[in-house]
Amino acid sequence: MRVSKEQVLATAALCRLDLGTHGETSNGAYLETLAAQLDDVLSYMDILSGVDTRAVQPLYSPLRDPSPPRPDIAEKKCSAAEILANAPERRDNFFVVPAVI
């Protein structure tokens, strides 16, 4: 399967990706690279689709023995002053954000 530059652009438009922000798109080399990479991925999917998996049991979790959940214990890691130190705007111990209606 050969992926064209036009298909890359059409897919990018459907995904709402802006590929024109890279300077390389003007000469098409960037689109050629993306097309080749996408073609490689799809070729690999073709190989995987040809594998006979009828005798393989479904895998419901990648872990043989899932980890037990950690205890839900509240811990104080940072003070309010440390958390608010990077806030662009604050009032007392609160973040100031634009009103959303």
The domain spans of the chain are 5-49
Question: Phi and psi for 32 in degrees, rounded to 5?
Answer: -65, -40
pLDDT at residue 62, as a whole number: 77
Q: Mean per-residue pLDDT for 73-89?
A: 88
Q: Where are the beta strands (DSSP E) in 21-69?
A: none
Q: What's the one-letter identity of residue 24?
A: E
Would the pTM of this model clear 0.75, i.e. be above it? no
What local confidence, expressed as pLDDT, does residue 41 receive?
Answer: 95
Query: At what angle are helices 5-14 and 29-49 packed, to 10 degrees?
Result: 80
